[in-house]
Structure 1
Amino acid sequence: MDSILSCMTAGHNIYTINRERKQLFLTHPQLVPHLYKKTTIDSQSDYYARKAAYLAKHGYTEGLNHQYDGTITPAMVKDSIANLRQLVFEVTDACNLRCKYCGYGELYSDHDERHAQKMQFSTAKKTIDFLQEVWKDSKQEFTIKNIFISFYGGEPLLNMPFIRQVIEYVESLHIANRTIDYSMTTNAMLLDKYMDYLAEKKFHLLISLDGNKWNNSYRVTPGGESSFERNVANVDKLKERYPDYFEQYVNFNAVLHNRSTVDEVYHFIKDRYGKKPQITALNTTGIRPEKKDEFNRMFRNVDLKESENYEALLDEMFMKSPEYYGACLFLQQYNKNVYRSYNDLFASEKALNFIPTGGCVPFSRKMFITVNGKILACERIGQQYGLGTAFPDDDIELSYQSIADLYNNYFDKLRAQCKVCYMSQSCIQCMFNIDRFDSLEKVACPGFANKEKFGAYVSQKVSFIEQHPESYERVMEVVLA
């Protein structure tokens, strides 16, 4: 693989990127061919040959020879739990809606059967007690750690007694060196009954609402009736009764589909509630083969360019837009002016041995406990990928060694591709979101990029920054600062 790559932007400017050293520089067309030759400063009289030799001497054209044979160890798994950011309980698999595109509905197969079960408090207590023991016996990255305890469903408000018990228990523990916040994803159908408690405990609420009545028409009751009127009436009531809480703690998630556009969804929620919604596409993994045609009819990409007021919408949405979000990721990965900590200021460039894919070390971000007692690394992946169990009447079963072995076996399916993938330094591909990943011996990673695909990626991101020169400063100062 070449250490450097030169590509042209939409503005007909050429940039050369050294992806391993995080170097990106504007390049004169006459310089480009010399960058790929072995030259010395004294051996050539041509200006661009001498410039290329100078760049080569100072490391601009050579890589670091990173490797992708890294593995996860049991100690890494335990350390991730010691620094857990979010504990998510699947409070119930019951729901008072039957959304047509639901990830636990008839379109998808990668979840356990739903039986309107409710999680028992003893399961949550055992999990919290287990985590406390790990926290006492492990190193912590920061003096004070903020942790979210999150409630998920189904519709979590259908099991409100469980939620109250968990919070009461957590608040009785006085956990040292950690602050606990609460969050919930809800369809708002029962919000009128419990908003006082949610506001009192300062829950971070993510409300599911797809926009206006037509946009929201896939979100129906078990009887097929619209949920829109009740949903917005409850949200209106929350906003009116607790305006300060609403302003600080409430946000919205909208799913885009063939009955909505980004423009419609964004402006409905922004105009009515003063909030910039998170807009996501339908989940593309785990689709039942017989449902693919139905899924394809519903699916729509989150594409702001379909809007008549693209530039205005782009400016308003900022990091909620795919363009700004993508630019931010690009700058994080390939801009030497980005430092994650003060330690990075003193880090020397050297070859590293990376763990394949762009996924996370298990539990480095979340721990998800299903209503059936499975322990997963995230609520967004198929429930066939359980890593342990948490049952009401048994001890927590979680083997660090078994988890490390399982992940390393998974990585072996992708390791060869990662070694020759030009996106390996900026990969965001979760291996669990590769369709049929669990059942195939060899898989084709959808995030894989050869030289041409990576060049197109760099060109697209730099072109956006060129066309929106304020975006660099905005991302660097507002997001990455």
Structure 2
Amino acid sequence: MKSDILFTSANKNKYLSAPAENYIIPASPVFSYIVEQFLKNGDNINLPDKLVIDNREYQKNQVEYYYNKFLFLKNKGVFLNKRKDEFGKLDGKQIEWQLANVDHLVFEVTDACNLKCKYCGYGEFYTDYDERVNKYMPFEIAREMINYLVNLWQSPLNYSQNHNVTVGFYGGEPLMNIDFIKKVIDYLEKLSIPKIHFRWSMTTNALLLGKSMDYLVEKDFSILVSLDGNEENHGYRVNHNSKNSFPDVHQNVRQLQQKYPDFFKRNVNFNSVLHNKNSVSEIFDYIKKEFGKNPSISELSDAGIRPEKVEEFKKTYRNNYESLQQAENYEDIINESILNNPDFRELTSFAGQYSGNIFERYTDLLSKKIKKTYLPTGTCSPFSKKVFVTVNGKILPCERIGFQHALGVVSKNGVQLDLEQIAQRINSYYNNITEQCSSCHRTQTCVQCIYYLDKLSEKPVCKGFTNEKRFSDYLARNISYLENNPGDYKKVLEDVSIE
């Protein structure tokens, strides 16, 4: 049960969090005094004729004014109306609906790569992936997955009048299997499915960009280039002879920019991995100056680390927030690329919970206030965001989780997805952690993916568990940010998609 919490911002302003209604109410000093008395003693509130708070004196009429305001809110059920979270269960029909409306299909077109990056998610630090054997996905595998989804996209379960589906190509290095990519695109374009519009995307190390750029431009690809900053920053991204790939990457990216400047400006972006050879400041400065782009900056994943590599991983890892705070050009980075600000990213989920102005779908605007049920943890519902198919035909809800969590498989003989069995399996994971979630104060803004926890089939310990003190700090941190950056609230509501 979650109760009312009084908390104080960094600017010494007090607020009341009423979890039953998701209210956060500014609390004046006298009002705070009355609420503190009520939370401690119930209705036995001592109302003095004169009250002194922080060297300021309040007269009886002022105290009575705030007491009447308190009584008004109390009669409206704001206080001591505790919230008990109700957790739902997955079922096969829900998963089928997600598949029918999924808008991102990603193929791991090959596990081969022309680089051998030290920190690669399929490299020496990690364990939770299939062995890399230079395998190339055959077109027939993709065709079976596409046909399975097309049947659902054309079914009554698909509710969209104009469904935009992004088909992504992932690796390894996807351009090493360009023939596969061309066959998939040609197949989808010839299907001509009513109300379905396809877009193409790719994450690439850019070593083969020169050979394929004309085709990628022709098909209007969205391209995400992996570049960790300048040549020294890029030092972990080496070829199989341990040579830094930076000169070739830079040459190919520059060629694309010069040959197709409009396409480059519109369709090309950069992702950089933060580690002990670079910093947020160095990455941002270089890519902004060299290519006029604001890079997205990712931390190394700490899930699935080999036990013998833990110490080396710790030496390589760098924290995004700490690196940003150390940047001399902190304000420039935040102003140019606000999504690289961890405080702002946290604010997006905070605003989604407390603004009262964010809805998951248009029909929510027409419905009365409905008590929501939540799935434990912040794990995405299976296939709510994407379908990821590995080079071995394993079907996962995301490329960021270990391959041991595959939910099905696709082969030349078709797609094997037992939706009810998937639901039962995931519900069993949820059952093992529900007790912790029931005591956690951040159930409605949880960001913990269950697949990043150990011992899912037993009793996993949640890394993101939030007690009342941590939750009070979370509220104070976000309200303090809004007090100091009031304009960012509008940016969250109008410019950022909250998922």
Query: TM-score range, shorter-chain basis?
Result: over 0.9
Counterparts of 1:9-408 in structure 2, within 5 Å, are: 9-35=9-35, 36-37=38-39, 38-39=42-43, 46-63=64-81, 65-303=83-321, 304-392=324-412, 394-408=413-427
- CA distance in 2 between counterparts of 1:391 and 1:165 reads 17
Q: What is the letter of the counterpart of residue 100 of structure 1?
A: K
CA shift, 1:479, in A, is 2.6
Greater alpha carbon shift after TM alignment, 234-243 vs 321-330: 321-330
1:476 corresponds to which letter in structure 2? L
Q: Is the 8 A contact 1:19 1:425 kept in 2?
A: no
CA distance in 2, matches of 1:212, 1:468: 32
Q: Could you tell me how far 1:469 is from its partner in structure 2?
A: 2.5
- Letter of the structure 2 residue corresponding to residue 9 of structure 1: S
- Greater CA drift, 221-230 or 467-476: 467-476
- CA spacing shift, 1:475–1:51, aligned 2, 3 Å: same
| Partner Cα distance (2:122, 2:300) in 1 | 12
> Does structure 1 residue 418 correspond to structure 2 residue 421?
no
Contact 1:24 1:335 (C-alpha < 8 Å) held by counterparts: no
Change over 3 Å in CA distance of 1:296–1:396 after alignment to 2: same
Structure 1 residue 265 displacement after superposition: 0.2
Counterpart CA distance in 1 for 2:281 and 2:491 is 23
**Aligned equivalents of 1:100 and 1:279: distance in 2?**
17
In 2, the alpha carbon distance for the partners of 1:338 and 1:57 equals 27
Q: Which amino acid aligns with 1:245?
A: F
1:429 deviation in Å? 1.2
Note if contact 2:239-2:245 (Cα within 8 Å) is conserved in structure 1: yes
Q: Aligned partners of 2:357 and 2:104: how far apart in 1?
A: 29
| 22-31 or 270-279, larger mean C-alpha shift | 22-31
Instruction: State how far apart, in whole Å, the 2-side matches of 1:20 and 1:289 are.
Output: 43
SS at match of 2:415: coil
Superposed structure 1 runs of 4+ greater than 6 Å apart: none
More displaced 10-residue stretch of structure 1: 15-24 or 275-284: 15-24
1:472 positional shift: 1.9
Shift of 1:33: 4.7
Q: How many percent of aligned residue pairs carry the same amino acid?
A: 40
**Normalising by the residue count of structure 1, what TM-score does the alignment of the two structures yield?**
0.95
- Bigger mean CA deviation after superposition, 136-145 or 248-257: 136-145
Query: Within 1, Cα distance between the matches of 2:491 and 2:157?
Result: 36
Partner of 2:56: none
Q: Contact 1:39–1:49 (CA<8 Å) still a contact in 2? A: no
Counterpart of 2:448 (choices 429, 433, 439) is: 429
- Contact 2:152-2:158 within 8 A present in 1 as well: no
Gaps of 5+ in 1: none
How many correspondences in the alignment?
A: 477
Give, as a single letter, the amino acid of the residue that structure 2 aligns with 1:391: S
Name the aligned partner's letter for residue 473 of structure 1. K
1:466 is paired with a residue whose SS is helix
> 1:342 Cα shift?
4.1
Query: How big is the shift at 1:391?
Result: 1.4
Which residue is equivalent to 2:485? 468
Provide the C-alpha distance between the structure 1 equivalents of 2:131 and 2:467, rounded to a whole number of angstroms: 39
> Aligned partners of 2:374, 2:82: CA distance in 1, in Å?
12
Q: Residue 453 of structure 1: SS of its match in structure 2?
A: helix
Match of 2:387, SS state, is strand
Rg bigger for which structure?
A: 2
Which letter does structure 1 place at the counterpart of 2:184?
V
Instruction: Report the Cα offset of residue 69 of structure 1.
Output: 3.1
The 3 A distance-change label for structure 1 pair 180 and 64 is: farther
Cα deviation digits, residues 364-385 of structure 1 (max 9, x gap):
1111111111111111100000
Q: Which amino acid aligns with 1:338?
A: I
Distance (whole Å) between structure 1 residues aligned to residue 364 and residue 96 of structure 2: 24
1:15 to partner: Cα distance: 1.5
Q: Counterpart amino acid of 1:368?
A: F
Aligned counterparts of 2:80 and 2:99: Cα–Cα separation in 1 = 38
Deviation at 1:40, TM superposition (A): 11
Q: What is the aligned counterpart of 2:464 among 427, 447, 455? A: 447
